[in-house]
Amino acid sequence: MKILVVDDHALVREGLCQVLKGLDEQVQVLEAPHCARAFELAALHPDLDLVLLDYHLPDMNGLDALTIFGTKHPELPIVMLSGSVNLRIMRQVMAKGAAGFVTKAGISNDLLSALRRVLAGDVYLPPELLTASGTPSAQDFSTENNAPLLTPRQEEVLYLLLDGRSNKDISQTLHLSEETTKNHVTAVLRCFGVQTRIQAVIAAGYHGYTKSAPLA
């Protein structure tokens, strides 16, 4: 398992490195003090499993960084870290395609629980957002109110996306070339009016799609 931690405070990065061993003793943690270095490391390590991204960084805010990660690495789950509980920022971060939002005030076990869910292909919504009025709706993740019209093949691809499967896994399961799978994933994102796989998963949930639907 390989995780990238992006935070401008060395002590925070060191602390997270210790906490992340709770996921796997052999976890490899890469560290970046700013977004420029984070983008370099993400390009050098295409096998990254997860990114922990601080919202407040010296060279870029979390929303802008999410946009770049989503464009360059749409399959890479990003969990945003923040020292404050701001519902507006939480909603913006989740709508931008983050796989989760965790406050630094939480305890280690809460962080590990959130990361396990994300690594399993789920999306983690913080309790503050779940209990607040104005919780994210389908309109936050899609430009259309009606359910998208997917072809049968696109629906098969979508269900595998909901299971957290990579393009390679989808290709093997459906006996498709990786290029064909990539085209289907792109079509699914376009149907939901979103830019990243995480946004598609969230939007699909609001349109009634659930995990583990049987393939034809």
Cα atoms found within 13 Å of the Cα of residue 196, Cβ hemisphere only: 26
Give the model's pLDDT for residue 199: 77
pTM here?
0.67
In the chain, domain spans: 2-136, 139-206
Within 10 Å of residue 185's Cβ, how many Cβ atoms? 21
What does the DSSP 8-state code read for residue 200?
H
| 139-206: CATH class | mainly alpha
Residue 152 has pLDDT above 90, yes or no: no
Instruction: Please state, for a pLDDT cut of 90, what percent of the chain lies above it.
Output: 28
The more confidently predicted of residues 7 and 131 is: 7
- Segment 192-210, tens digit of pLDDT: 777 778 778 877 877 777 7
For 174-183, what is the mean pLDDT? 88
Return d(Cα 104, Cα 143) in angstroms, integer: 32
- Strands of the 100-103 sheet, one edge to the other: 28-32, 2-6, 50-54, 78-82, 100-103
Architecture of domain 2-136 in this structure: 3-Layer(aba) Sandwich (3.40)
Tell me the pLDDT band of 148, cut-offs 50, 70 and 90: low
Tell me the pLDDT band of 162, cut-offs 50, 70 and 90: confident
Strand 50-54 and strand 28-32: pairing?
unpaired
Tell me the pLDDT band of 31, cut-offs 50, 70 and 90: very high
Residue 93 has pLDDT above 90, yes or no: no
CB 194 within 8 A of CB 200: yes
154 in helix, strand or coil?
helix
Structure tokens at 181: 């799978």
